[in-house]
């Protein structure tokens, strides 16, 4: 949910018109199509402006010919009138068809750019994001781009062109009073539309903010469906959601009422201008200064002129909103990627993947340090485990190695290369992670396993499944590998999710393994089977195992004991037990909890 401060800031936010310049690259990608579309636009407007002229001549001929009208009116003139009407519509439709690729490609390019950038942002952004609101921002932003490209080019520009052409025709054919009336009406109409739209934009933005908030609330609640059920909080969630919908309803009502005021004012200006013009024309008809055809032409021009102007009011409102939506989407592109490759970054050469943590210091916040001068080495092909109480900083080590964050002091090196000096892509290609909290895609088991290395062969996928002890489980499923795991993997158990995650990393086949509580969700039998598979695979890899259950890392080459972000002990299992320190205390505690009837084990 967005804070009240954010909402207030949004309410006073003004669109950045300079954003229009940022859309030019999307137009330049299809110069030929844009030029052809503009040509069709001009032809459509010229045909449209000439329709009242053709109508004038038809009426004048009818008036002069009297009873012999059908014979007297040249068929060529009637054909020209029909052709002009058809041409105005045809070239307008052709313009839209030609330009469609430009608008759709712009939406595609922008969506892809935001999608790529969001994946480049550091973990802290995604931990604090609001998925529902973020999705709406992207959706509205891309739609706003399409709207802006189409209507700026094909509504505002042609409307101004049409006004100019009509003004010239009225100036040449009639008295200057007609032109001045048209110009005055347009100026008043535009000024009124802009002023009222500026006033009511805050209601539009408030409605969007409430829409984001309610959508975020709904997505968050549905993603936590089981938690809602555990605590019988369906009513509580519905009440909170309804509260957001009530605020959205109120904002929408203000939006609709202000829109009614705007439309009524615009209609009054249009009606007044047409009345003045027709009064002037009628007077000149009675004096013989104008023919009946001239009166019809003036009336047709006024209707023809104010129809796009009426749309112009809507377009201005929508363009203003589109600018706000695009700015918010581009604001996502403006989010700084906290972890960036240096200009002189090189490819990582793991060569077995020896890892060294050298006096590493780190804190998620400057005032709350997590790690203090952590120093240890994992030789290439070695297996080192990190243990310690909750909150000691164990998982932080894995995040720093993977460069979700950068150290604030010291250095982490792989094969002698500082991880900050190599490309993130090459670093992360060399590391396979089995996380403690496994989240799966809402797709099939096969997709989730194959995600470890897209393009892997079917045999390679099945081999990874066998190594992760998933074969028996999949054999019992009616749809086998094509079984869908549901949102975030909710259709499979915690242990099954963990085995899928292990199969996925085994398929990736990296030189470095990070096991972050990799067997935490497994029963004892499954744990032993997977530990055997992991031990087999880890023999050829450098492995960092982060563990809570000490029984899973007894055979590690070396065990690092962290306590409050500091290395307090290190050695193998036997040496640490003999030292009778922190590790020995943790071991005794876990053995006591595991022993039947609370009986301790030495």
Count of domains observed in the chain: 3
pLDDT confidence of residue 602 = 34
- Report how far Cα 491 is from the mean position of its chain's Cα atoms: 27
Please state the separation of Cα 448 from the chain's center in Å: 23
Domain boundary among 312, 334, 356: 334
Cα angle 124-130-132, degrees, rounded to a multiple of 5: 145
Instruction: Find the angle CA(190)-CA(191)-CA(192) to the nearest 5 degrees.
Output: 90
Which CATH number belongs to the domain containing residue 574 in this structure?
3.40.50.300
Same domain, 261 and 204: yes
Q: Which two tokens stand for residue 554?
A: 């007894």
CB 513 within 8 A of CB 537: yes
267 within a domain of the structure (yes/no): yes
Q: For 121-156, where are the alpha helices, taking DSSP H only?
A: 123-128, 131-151
Which CATH number does the domain housing residue 233 bear?
1.20.1560.10
Residue 44 lies inside a defined structural domain of this protein: yes
Given a contact cutoff of 8 angstroms between Cβ atoms, the answer to whether 250 and 213 are in contact is: no
166 and 295 co-located in one domain: yes
**pLDDT higher at 372 or 45:** 372
Looking at the structure, do residues 463 and 397 belong to the same domain, yes or no?
no
Q: In the structure, what pLDDT confidence band is assigned to residue 24 with cuts at 50, 70 and 90?
A: confident
Is residue 5's pLDDT more than 50?
no
Kindly state whether residues 81 and 138 are assigned to the same domain. Answer: yes
Which residues are CB-contacts of 139 (< 8 A; sequence separation ≥ 6)?
none
Judgement on whether residues 504 and 531 belong to the same structural domain of the protein: no
Is residue 285 located within the same domain as residue 166? yes
Verify that 416 and 562 share a domain, yes or no: yes
Last residue of a domain, one of 509, 539, 567: 509
- Same domain as 579, residue 468: no
Q: Is residue 9 part of a domain?
A: no
pLDDT (average), residues 61-71: 60
Determine the Cα–Cα distance for residues 347 and 511; give it in Å rounded to an integer.
15
Q: How confident is the model at residue 128 (pLDDT cuts 50, 70, 90)?
A: low
Residue 324 pLDDT > 60:
yes
378/291: higher pLDDT? 378
What is residue 131's predicted lDDT score, i.e. its pLDDT? Answer: 56
Answer yes or no: do 119 and 197 share one domain: yes
31-40, 57-66, 136-145: the lowest-pLDDT one? 57-66
Tell me what pLDDT residue 1 has: 37
State pLDDT tens for residues 265-314.
888 888 888 888 888 888 888 887 888 888 888 878 777 777 777 666 66
Average pLDDT over residues 331-356: 82
Q: What is the rounded distance in angstroms from the CA atom of residue 341 to the CA atom of residue 303? A: 60
- Report the alpha-carbon angle 348-428-485, nearest 5: 160
Burial of 202 (0-12, 13-18, 19+ CB in 10 A): middle
State residue 400's pLDDT score: 92
In a domain, 4, yes or no: no
Higher pLDDT, 55 or 580: 580
Question: Does one domain contain both 202 and 297?
Answer: yes
Q: What is the pLDDT of residue 489?
A: 67
Let me know if residue 12 belongs to a domain.
no
CA distance 366 to 363: 6
pLDDT at position 9 is 37
Same domain, 318 and 424: no
Averaged pLDDT, 581-599? 76
Q: Is 127 exposed, middle or buried (0-12, 13-18, 19+ CB in 10 A)?
A: exposed
Same domain, yes or no: 518 and 505: no
Please say which residue of 309, 334, 359 terminates a domain: 334
Amino acid 143: pLDDT: 78
Whole-angstrom distance, CA of residue 398 vs CA of residue 317: 50
List, as own/partner pairs, every contact residues 451-456 make where C-beta atoms lie below 8 angstroms and the sequence separation is at least 24, other chains included.
Answer: 451/504, 452/503, 452/504, 452/505, 452/506, 452/507, 452/508, 453/507, 453/508, 453/509, 456/507
**Any domain includes 2:** no
pLDDT higher than threshold 70 for residue 125: no
Q: What is the mean pLDDT of residues 230-257?
A: 86
pLDDT at 559: 94
Query: Which burial class, exposed, middle or buried, applies to 459 when counting CB atoms under 10 A from its CB (0-12, 13-18, 19+)?
Result: exposed
Q: Give residue 108's pLDDT.
A: 78
Q: What pLDDT was estimated at residue 598?
A: 44
Tell me what pLDDT residue 599 has. Answer: 44
- For 157-206, the pLDDT digits (tens) are 777 787 888 888 888 878 788 888 888 888 898 888 888 877 877 787 78
Mean pLDDT score of the chain: 80
Judge whether 46 lies within some domain. Answer: yes
Beta bridge partners of 360: 374
Q: Which residue has the tokens 């096991």?
A: 515
Q: What is the pLDDT of residues 454-504, one digit of tens each?
A: 888 999 999 888 888 788 888 888 888 888 887 666 677 777 888 888 888
Mean pLDDT for the stretch of residues 47-74: 70
In a domain, 398, yes or no: yes
Q: Look at residue 6 and tell me whether its pLDDT is greater than 70.
A: no
Residue-number span of the structural domain to which 543 is assigned: 346-430+510-602
């Amino acid at each position: 949910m967005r804070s009240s401060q954010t909402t207030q800031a949004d309410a006073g936010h003004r669109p950045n018109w300079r954003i229009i310049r940022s859309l030019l690259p999307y137009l330049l990608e299809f110069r030929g199509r844009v030029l052809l579309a503009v040509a069709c636009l001009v032809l459509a407007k010229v045909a449209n402006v000439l329709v009242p002229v053709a109508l004038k001549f038809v009426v004048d001929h009818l008036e002069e010919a009297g009873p012999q009208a059908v014979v007297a009116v040249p068929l060529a003139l009637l054909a020209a009138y029909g052709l002009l009407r058809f041409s105005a519509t045809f070239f307008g439709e052709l313009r839209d068809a030609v330009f469609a690729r430009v608008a759709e490609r712009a939406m595609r390019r922008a969506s892809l750019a935001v999608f790529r950038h969001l994946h480049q942002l550091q973990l802290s952004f995604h931990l604090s994001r609001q998925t529902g609101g973020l999705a709406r921002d992207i959706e509205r932003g891309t739609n706003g781009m399409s709207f802006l490209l189409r209507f700026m080019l094909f509504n505002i520009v042609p409307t101004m062109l049409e006004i100019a052409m009509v003004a010239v025709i009225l100036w040449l054919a009639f008295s200057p009073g007609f032109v001045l009336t048209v110009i005055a009406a347009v100026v008043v109409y535009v000024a009124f539309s802009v002023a009222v739209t500026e006033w009511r934009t805050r209601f539009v933005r408030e409605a969007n903010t409430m829409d984001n908030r309610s959508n975020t609330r709904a997505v968050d609640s549905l993603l936590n469906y089981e938690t809602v059920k555990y605590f019988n909080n369906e009513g509580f969630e519905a009440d909170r959601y309804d509260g957001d919908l009530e605020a959205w309803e109120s904002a929408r009502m203000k939006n609709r009422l202000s829109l009614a005021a705007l439309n009524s004012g615009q209609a009054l200006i249009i009606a007044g201008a047409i009345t003045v013009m027709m009064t002037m024309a009628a007077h000149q008809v009675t004096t013989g200064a104008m023919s009946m055809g001239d009166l019809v032409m003036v009336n047709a021009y006024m209707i023809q002129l104010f129809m796009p102007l009426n749309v112009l009011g809507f377009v201005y409102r929508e363009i203003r909103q589109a600018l706000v939506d695009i700015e918010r989407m581009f604001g996502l592109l403006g989010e700084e990627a906290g972890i960036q490759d240096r200009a002189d970054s090189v490819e990582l050469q793991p060569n077995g993947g020896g890892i060294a943590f050298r006096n590493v210091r780190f804190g998620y916040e400057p005032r709350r340090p997590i790690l203090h001068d952590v120093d240890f080495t994992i030789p290439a092909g070695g297996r080192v485990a990190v243990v310690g109480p909750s909150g000691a900083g164990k998982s932080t080590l894995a995040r720093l190695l993977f460069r979700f964050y950068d150290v604030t002091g010291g250095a982490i090196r792989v094969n002698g290369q500082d991880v900050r000096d190599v490309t993130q892509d090459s670093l992360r290609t060399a590391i396979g992670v089995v996380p403690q909290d496994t989240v799966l895609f809402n797709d099939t088991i096969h997709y989730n396993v194959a995600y470890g290395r897209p393009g892997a062969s079917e045999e390679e996928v099945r081999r990874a499944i066998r190594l992760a002890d998933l074969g028996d489980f999949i054999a019992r499923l009616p749809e086998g590998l094509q079984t869908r795991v549901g949102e975030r993997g909710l259709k499979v158990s915690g242990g099954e999710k963990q085995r899928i995650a292990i199969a996925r990393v085994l398929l990736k086949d990296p030189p470095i393994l990070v096991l972050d509580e990799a067997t935490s969700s497994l029963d004892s039998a499954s744990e032993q089977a997977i530990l055997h598979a992991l031990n087999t695979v880890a023999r050829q890899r450098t492995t960092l195992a982060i563990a809570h259950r000490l029984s899973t890392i007894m055979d590690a080459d070396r065990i690092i004991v962290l306590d409050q972000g500091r290395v307090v002990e290190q050695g193998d299992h036997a040496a640490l037990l003999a030292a009778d320190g922190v590790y020995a205390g943790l071991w005794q505690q876990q053995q006591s909890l595991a022993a039947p009837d609370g009986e301790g084990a030495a």
